[in-house]
Structure 1
Amino acid sequence: MAADVDAEVLAELAEAEAAEAEAEAEAARAKATAARLRGSAPATEVVEPSDEVELAEDTELADDDDDDELDPRGWWSRIGLVTVAVAAVVVVAIGSLVITGLMLVAHQKVAAQRAHQDQLIDAARTGVTALLSIDYNRAKQDVQHVIDLSTGTFKDDFSRGADDFVQTAQQSKAVTVGTIKSAALDKDGGDTGVVLLAASSTVTNANGAHQDPRAWRMSVTVARDGDKFKMSNVEFVP
């Protein structure tokens, strides 16, 4: 009876030892599996404190850049500056054009006024030169030339005495040659003007004169006749 009990105890002990061995083997396999899994997992990067600060600064800068790019106020401010610059250039350009235009207008006005005054003076010079230049050989043509360069009262008066003037020149065989020494505009009334002239002439005739010089000072009024200016009055000034 005692032998049967010992055999039973031994059998249970053997079974317990086998279970313990199986448990130890299972624990060893679990450890091996955990070690293998740890060996295949990526290593965790250790970040030094200084690296963390630099990383934070870079992140802040990147965030600031992103904020500038995304912030519409940054774009509007840039567009505003460009608009102001373009507007300033346009204003300067327009101002330059306006000043240039005003200068051109003023220049044209002065040039037109000068050309008008030259017309008045030229009309007086041409008329007086014809008046002082009569050749008895072509007296009629010379007298008609003076009439053609005249208008108004002077033309009427000279036309009435033209025949007597021609006859006198032919009878005395007079040849006169006139030269204008100087001429200056005294008054400019637009369609009329007064020109002061200093002139001289030489006279040759049958009475013995041979290119005798004579000096003249005249105040000549010129007036518009169509598209030209002509003598309308001639006064001899002492």
Structure 2
Amino acid sequence: MAADVDAEVLAELAEAEAAEAEAEAEAARARATAARLRGSAPATETLEPAEDIEDCELEDEDEDEAVELDPRSWWARIGAVTVAVIAVVIVAIGSLAATGLMLVAHQKVAAHQAHQNELIDAARTGVTALLSIDYNRAKDDVQHVIDLSTGTFKADFSRGAEDFVQTAQNAKAVTVGSIKSAALENETADGGLVLLAASSTVTNSSGAHQDPRAWRMSVTVARDGDKYKMSNVEFVP
């Protein structure tokens, strides 16, 4: 009787082990099928084993770290800074260019003004010398007028210089001239025309003292070497 019971138990145990083995084999086939499907098709909303879920979470964390450490993000920041620096440089260059243009324009205006002043000063100096003759130094004064002249006026004045000196010495005259105003009528690179308002006073050996006499003159100024000098003088009514 006992032997029959032992045989039945052994038979049932064998069946149970066979069923368990079959179940394990079926589970293995299911896992293999699922793995094959995951590798060849898009992910679907299926439940995954706990180990797979943990693996996915670890992969996600690794991807986040990779994104944070991605060198391309640093290059993007460097690129933005470079663009900002280039913009500042462009603005600075533009400002310097504008400043340079302003300086050039200012230099041109200053040079033009200096040229005009040089023409006016040449006319003022020449006419003042022409109207200021002292008989005590008549020769020197007449020579000074010649030195401040050029062209036709210099030639004409030089021819009458001796008579001019003799007349001043005989009358013991002293004339003093002054310029009231002067303006540039027109100009060229080598000269210009200057209008002047002047006055002069005359004293002589007899003690006479004349009231100031007014003069209006049109003086042509021309370049002579590195200076401007009187080339023609006309008295304007």
Calculate the TM-score normalised by the size of structure 2. 0.72
- Alignment match, 1:170: 169
- Alignment match, 2:192: 193
Say if 2:96 is the partner of 1:97. Answer: yes
The separation in 2 between residues aligned to 1:136 and 1:107, in whole angstroms, is 47
The separation in 2 between residues aligned to 1:175 and 1:59, in whole angstroms, is 114
The separation in 1 between residues aligned to 2:62 and 2:107, in whole angstroms, is 64
Stretches of structure 1 lacking an aligned partner (at least 5 in a row)? 1-51
The separation in 2 between residues aligned to 1:85 and 1:144, in whole angstroms, is 71
- Alignment match, 1:64: 64
Q: Percent identity between the aligned chains?
A: 76
Say if 2:218 is the partner of 1:219. Answer: yes
**Pairwise CA distance, 1:174:** 1.1
The separation in 1 between residues aligned to 2:200 and 2:65, in whole angstroms, is 96
Alpha-carbon deviations, 1:82-118, whole Å to 9, x = none? Answer: 1111110110111111111111111111111111111
- Alignment match, 2:126: 127
The separation in 2 between residues aligned to 1:64 and 1:118, in whole angstroms, is 78
Does the CA-based 8 Å contact 1:219-1:236 persist in structure 2?
Answer: yes
- Alignment match, 1:139: 138
SS of the aligned residue for 1:232 comes to: strand
Moved over 6 A (4+): none
Does the CA-based 8 Å contact 1:185-1:196 persist in structure 2?
Answer: yes
Which amino acid in 1 is paired with 2:68? D
**Pairwise CA distance, 1:66:** 2.9
- Alignment match, 2:150: 151
After superposition, the Cα gap between the structure-2 partners of 1:96 and 1:170, relative to the gap in structure 1 and judged at 3 Å, is same
The separation in 1 between residues aligned to 2:61 and 2:115, in whole angstroms, is 76
The separation in 1 between residues aligned to 2:150 and 2:81, in whole angstroms, is 68
Stretches of structure 2 lacking an aligned partner (at least 5 in a row)? 1-52
Which amino acid in 1 is paired with 2:124? R
Which amino acid in 2 is paired with 1:70? D
Q: State which structure, 1 or 2, has the greater radius of gyration over its C-alpha atoms.
A: 1
**Pairwise CA distance, 1:226:** 0.8
After superposition, the Cα gap between the structure-2 partners of 1:79 and 1:192, relative to the gap in structure 1 and judged at 3 Å, is same
**Pairwise CA distance, 1:171:** 1.2
After superposition, the Cα gap between the structure-2 partners of 1:83 and 1:166, relative to the gap in structure 1 and judged at 3 Å, is same
